[in-house]
Amino acid sequence: MSSETGTGTETTAASGSASSSINLESVRAVAKKDFQDSVRSWLFWGLSVFFFTLMAALAGFLAWAEFEQLTTLSFISLISEVCRLVIPLIALILGWKSIAGERETGSIKVLLSLPHSRKDVLVGKLLGRTAVLSLSLGIGFLIGMFAVAVAVTEFSFPAYIAFLAMTIVYGLAYMAIAVSLSSVTRSTTMAGAAMFGVFVLFYIVWNSIRRGLTILMNRGHIEGVSYMGTSFTGQEVEMTRLPNWALFIDMIDPGNAYQNTITLFSGLSGENIGTTFNEAAFPDGLPFYLQDWFSLVILLFWIVVPMAVALYQFDRVDI
């Protein structure tokens, strides 16, 4: 009797240990199956065609409109505004049913009956869905590159590839948020509501924060920072900017971080793509958390933290 109890305890302990660890081979298997299922569907090819059409159509329109001095950098400046809206929508839709859909149908139990821990499934789903988004982005952007090269007066391959790479990282950030939320919701309805809430929060609410804080500052509810600047007439006048904490809140939006991060690579810093600050407003130098390199840290934060929370929580929920 004692022996049986001991064996049962050891089995339980071993099972608990397995469920709390991440097996890279298991993660790879889950990601591979998730990716293959998507590739065999219309979704992957539909996204590839969409991204190609997006790049080619914008390049064609700009060429038709005969925009003067349209370089790769100015094209990226325009297309990044579109990607800032489109990529979150696609990533949230791709990640919407990743876990919640399988919990709703019960297929998650079949998946977990195989030698996969919950963490393996979660990380595998993230990598599989991200691979679908990344490959379709790569195919669409690289085919569309020929249209862009024809439309612009000066084509820069390194800048274009750097833009593609940062767009993939941006997609990964939103995919991490989507898969994490999908793992902690019991139904696709709840998961869909969560995805909609995330989009509204980051694209509508967060985009209005800086404007709202500026209004509060102008009305005296927030104390701004005064500095001497130059007016349009060339005269030195006293100006007021938002305090650093308010600017930091604005900067941690994934969309702002994405556009600021683009400026880190391939000479893009000279182009007005991300958030720009008046140097006169920061006589002691721009704080590190307002610099473009820190935007990459912010994007990594939106990848790591939601997944860390999901890995902890998903291991403890009832399937």
SS3 119: helix
- What count of other Cβ atoms lies within 10 Å of the Cβ of residue 28? 15
Answer whether residue 141 is part of any domain.
yes
Gap between the Cα atoms of 22 and 198, Å rounded: 28
Contact 217, 242 (CB under 8 A): yes
Kindly compute the dihedral angle of the four CA atoms of residues 277, 281, 287, 289, in this order, to the nearest 10 degrees. -40
pLDDT value, residue 124: 93
pLDDT value, residue 270: 46
The domain of 222 spans 22-319
Answer whether residue 8 is part of any domain.
no
188-199 helix and 72-96 helix, angle to the nearest 10 degrees: 150
Number of domains in the chain: 1
Contact 225, 242 (CB under 8 A): yes
pLDDT value, residue 31: 92
Alpha helices, H only, the chain: 2-19, 24-39, 42-64, 72-96, 100-105, 107-113, 118-151, 157-183, 188-199, 206-218, 244-251, 254-262, 292-314
pLDDT value, residue 308: 94
pLDDT value, residue 7: 40
- What count of other Cβ atoms lies within 10 Å of the Cβ of residue 251? 20
pLDDT value, residue 68: 63
pLDDT value, residue 226: 85
pLDDT value, residue 46: 86
pTM of the predicted structure, to 2 decimals: 0.85
Measured CA distances, 48 to 53, 132, 140, 319 (Å): 9, 10, 5, 34
pLDDT value, residue 11: 36
Answer whether residue 14 is part of any domain.
no
Answer whether residue 194 is part of any domain.
yes
Answer whether residue 96 is part of any domain.
yes
Mean pLDDT in runs of 10 for the chain (319 residues)?
40 40 87 85 83 87 71 85 91 90 86 86 93 92 88 86 93 95 90 92 86 89 83 76 88 90 65 63 83 91 95 83
CA Rg, the chain, in Å? 24
Read off the tokens for 186. Answer: 């019991």
pLDDT value, residue 286: 84
**HSE-up (13 A, CA, CB side) for residue 207:** 10
pLDDT value, residue 44: 79
Measured CA distances, 157 to 93, 191, 198, 282 (Å): 30, 39, 34, 34
* CA 191 to the chain's CA centroid: 18
Answer whether residue 9 is part of any domain.
no
Answer whether residue 107 is part of any domain.
yes
Answer whether residue 245 is part of any domain.
yes
Contact 101, 188 (CB under 8 A): yes
